[in-house]
Structure 1
Amino acid sequence: MSHEVFISYQTESQAFVEQLCKLLESYDIKCWYGKRDVISNHASEIPKAIRGCKVFLLVVDENVATHPRGDILNEVYLASNLFKKGLLDMMSVNITNIEYEDDELLYHLGRLQKKFLIDKMLPDGAINLLAELLTRLGRGECPVSYGNVPGDVRYKNDYFDINDDHECERLNTQLHILKKFDSDVYDRILSGRKGLSVLDIGCNEGNLTMDRFGKRPEVRKIIGIDINADAIESAKSNFENEKASFYLLNGEDADFGYDLAEIREKHDIDKFDIIHISMLLLHMENPSKLLKRIKPLLSKGGKLFIRDIDDTLTFVHPDPMGGFNRMIRICAREELSGYRHSGKEIYSMLIENGFRNVALEKKGLDTSQMTLEEKDALFHTYFSFIYEDTKILYLRNPENKRVLDDYNWLENNYGALKQEYDRPETLFQLGFVTYTAEK
């Protein structure tokens, strides 16, 4: 069977269906919907697709609830007959609170299907639907809980263990790889200026902070903040001096502005000339709130620098067995990786919060001009953390079937994928993005 879920919908809900399909397919629930999967003949291909599915899923928007088109009624009629014969299940996703007003639709649906109310893919509705589908398809329990949906829903992720030597080494490798990626952006926003004050939000242990700003003569004062107490203690121990100071501070706390005002007063900083945020927003549930809070802190002519990730830009080619694509999907759905499509949303968030001169400076770091050593390092900065994080999740919950399947698959295929990656014709691009903006 090429697909398990047939999605029936009217064209007004196309964007919702695309998002829903991304979520379900990140859990290997193969979907079929007309806009993407009809090849040439709707009249013959749609009935065949309905007969070939395990679950018929109707997306009910206001139009379907009140005035469904004939093709929707035909699909529901065929599915309801197959349901009565025990050949498939029926469910609906309601993205409107309007009750069914169409008598024919109500007649065919009746009490046959389970309903899920989802408003623009809110996490609780999405999880309930996902859990029900996994159960009906014989996949076991849903591996995520509210507020922790991978794929296309943001969630808060505070994971960092300073005692994890592998992760610390990986981040240090990433630091050096990224130097080539956007060092010219740093040069442009710093060169020719003097007496600059820098705020680094999410500074971690301070390695990136000091590497990019510590030796720059243009910089007078650096303030690094992070929510991880161990990381801040390490930064203080290794880097704190007259130029650089580090504080335990959470940009999402209600007292953030007050606490930062005290720090600014202590160091005689009115506004910051550079606000630096690297690989943080993907781990935040509401990054727009942080952007709104920091805008007043930026000086006139100051620069906001943001680096983040967007795995829609991430690919490996060739990928004849689909192994790299599976690793990217594992990364998207495992809870330690953050929101892997964060980067593409940042431009809109900056505009919505009133920033000016917003520029997408860089997108996609690829191996085409890298040395063999650099290419190897990029493999380890991305693929090794997928393997290590999956191992952590497996050790936390060895009964989770999806995590167990992913872990066993990685154990059996990781070495072969590395050999495939090392071939000279293999190109890898990792979806780093860099933005700058002004107040």
Structure 2
Amino acid sequence: KVKEKVNSDYDSSSVREKRRLKLQSSYSEEFDAQCFEYVLNKMDKKQGLIGLDIGCADGYVTELRFKKEYPFDMVIGVDFNEKLIEKISQEDHGHFYYHQLDLEAKDFDDRIQAIMDEHEIEGFDVIFSALTLHHLKNPQRILMKLRKYLNRGGAIIIRGVDDGAMLAYDDGGLVEKILKETISFENVSDRFHGRKFYTMLCSLGYKDIQMRYQVDDTTHMTFEEREDFFHYYFDFRLSYTLRTLNKDPDNPLYQENHMKMQEMLDELEEKFMKPDFFFSTLTISAIGFK
């Protein structure tokens, strides 16, 4: 079931989520590098590039993806989380600069133009966004807005996942139950957004669109790697029931939902640790040019 309405209250500043994001980054580092190198090789412009990272969090992934050896003179990172941006914007990050920006605010155009004016930027050559669009109520609209700030011949790279691409055996249907339970909450992001990338970019006039995929699975994983793999893809799901419960701690339905999710995740974690348990998932990237 594709989630049509998104009402995400995601918070990237918690200690647990910061750890998960770093783990997440390690899984996709080589995959993202291949996307960047494809884009840079295909572009006519080879130096003095300006980059934009949409949903940069604390800048950790931004500075890994826009590598120092790449020909970027400046990279701007923007994120909704005011606490994270306030902290990193006070630090010296060389040619990386960070700004707080609400992508879905009515004054988005004014705000991003102000950022560009501050840095004397006329446009961006590469726009990158990883695991951000699924938190937005209308990701296609923000992609449309971003397009006008992308220089002619520039490229956009978007990365995400799609829970519908998950495979598990032998879990007795447990993964499917967890996914079904996950999308039933109001504060969940669009967990089926990866399949929409091509259509979104194509409909907005992006050219030479390329889809890229990375498959990760538990085969040949050590016990520790299986544990990390589980936490990467399932830890955050408990936060959905917890946030609802925190708003009304005495609500018996919320208590039951939280306990049910905790029990299912505990059971799945035990299965993950067994060497004969199989789980795989798909990371999806789309690349488009203007």
Please give the TM-score of this superposition, normalised by the length of structure 2: 0.89
Match of 1:429 in 2: 280
Give the Cα separation in 1 of the matches to 2:197 and 2:187. Answer: 20
Which of 150, 160, 166 lines up with 2:16 in the alignment? 166
Give the gaps of 5 or more residues in structure 2. Answer: none
Give the Cα separation in 2 of the matches to 1:154 and 1:232. Answer: 28
Counterpart residue type for residue 409 of structure 1: K
Please state how far the C-alpha of 1:173 moved relative to its aligned partner.
Answer: 1.3
- Counterparts in 2 of 1:403 and 1:153: CA distance versus 1, 3 Å: farther
- Contact 1:174/1:378 (<8 A) preserved: no
Is 2:217 aligned against 1:360? Answer: no
Deviates more, 1:171-180 or 1:406-415: 406-415
Please give the TM-score of this superposition, normalised by the length of structure 1: 0.60
Matches within 5 A, 1:186-201: 186-190=36-40, 193-201=46-54
Match of 2:137, SS?
A: coil
Match of 1:303 in 2: 155
The CA RMSD measured in Å over matched residues stands at 2.3
- Counterparts in 2 of 1:281 and 1:255: CA distance versus 1, 3 Å: same
Match of 1:204, SS?
A: coil
- Counterparts in 2 of 1:300 and 1:393: CA distance versus 1, 3 Å: same
Which of 101, 104, 112 lines up with 1:260 in the alignment? 112
Counterpart residue type for residue 433 of structure 1: I
- Counterparts in 2 of 1:330 and 1:269: CA distance versus 1, 3 Å: same
Counterpart residue type for residue 176 of structure 1: S
- Contact 1:173/1:381 (<8 A) preserved: yes
Please state how far the C-alpha of 1:243 moved relative to its aligned partner.
Answer: 0.3
Match of 1:292 in 2: 144
Counterpart residue type for residue 398 of structure 1: P
Give the Cα separation in 1 of the matches to 2:186 and 2:233. Answer: 15
Give the gaps of 5 or more residues in structure 1. Answer: 1-21, 23-150
Give the Cα separation in 1 of the matches to 2:237 and 2:9. Answer: 17
Is 2:60 aligned against 1:207? Answer: yes
Bigger Rg, which one: 1
Match of 2:192, SS?
A: coil
Please state how far the C-alpha of 1:293 moved relative to its aligned partner.
Answer: 0.8
- Counterparts in 2 of 1:357 and 1:318: CA distance versus 1, 3 Å: same
Please state how far the C-alpha of 1:371 moved relative to its aligned partner.
Answer: 4.7
- Contact 1:203/1:209 (<8 A) preserved: yes
Counterpart residue type for residue 298 of structure 1: L
Which of 130, 133, 145 lines up with 1:281 in the alignment? 133
Give the Cα separation in 2 of the matches to 1:161 and 1:245. Answer: 19
- Contact 1:177/1:374 (<8 A) preserved: no
Please state how far the C-alpha of 1:368 moved relative to its aligned partner.
Answer: 3.4
Aligned length: 287
Please state how far the C-alpha of 1:370 moved relative to its aligned partner.
Answer: 4.5
Please state how far the C-alpha of 1:401 moved relative to its aligned partner.
Answer: 5.0
Deviates more, 1:353-362 or 1:391-400: 391-400
Matches within 5 A, 1:24-103: none
Please state how far the C-alpha of 1:277 moved relative to its aligned partner.
Answer: 1.1
- Contact 2:32/2:65 (<8 A) preserved: no
- Counterparts in 2 of 1:398 and 1:346: CA distance versus 1, 3 Å: same
- Counterparts in 2 of 1:175 and 1:237: CA distance versus 1, 3 Å: farther
Match of 2:171, SS?
A: coil
Please state how far the C-alpha of 1:255 moved relative to its aligned partner.
Answer: 2.4
Matches within 5 A, 1:378-389: 378-389=229-240
Deviates more, 1:396-405 or 1:309-318: 396-405
Please state how far the C-alpha of 1:292 moved relative to its aligned partner.
Answer: 0.9
Match of 2:104, SS?
A: coil
Counterpart residue type for residue 208 of structure 1: V
Please state how far the C-alpha of 1:222 moved relative to its aligned partner.
Answer: 0.5
Please state how far the C-alpha of 1:209 moved relative to its aligned partner.
Answer: 0.6
Higher relative contact order, structure no. (Cα contacts within 8 Å, ≥ 6 residues apart): 2
Counterpart residue type for residue 172 of structure 1: K
Please state how far the C-alpha of 1:198 moved relative to its aligned partner.
Answer: 0.4
Give the Cα separation in 2 of the matches to 1:331 and 1:315. Answer: 16
- Contact 2:7/2:188 (<8 A) preserved: no
- Counterparts in 2 of 1:284 and 1:388: CA distance versus 1, 3 Å: closer
- Counterparts in 2 of 1:406 and 1:216: CA distance versus 1, 3 Å: farther
- Counterparts in 2 of 1:393 and 1:180: CA distance versus 1, 3 Å: farther
Deviates more, 1:225-234 or 1:372-381: 372-381
Please state how far the C-alpha of 1:258 moved relative to its aligned partner.
Answer: 2.6
- Contact 2:9/2:188 (<8 A) preserved: no
Counterpart residue type for residue 25 of structure 2: L
Counterpart residue type for residue 85 of structure 2: I
Please state how far the C-alpha of 1:212 moved relative to its aligned partner.
Answer: 1.1
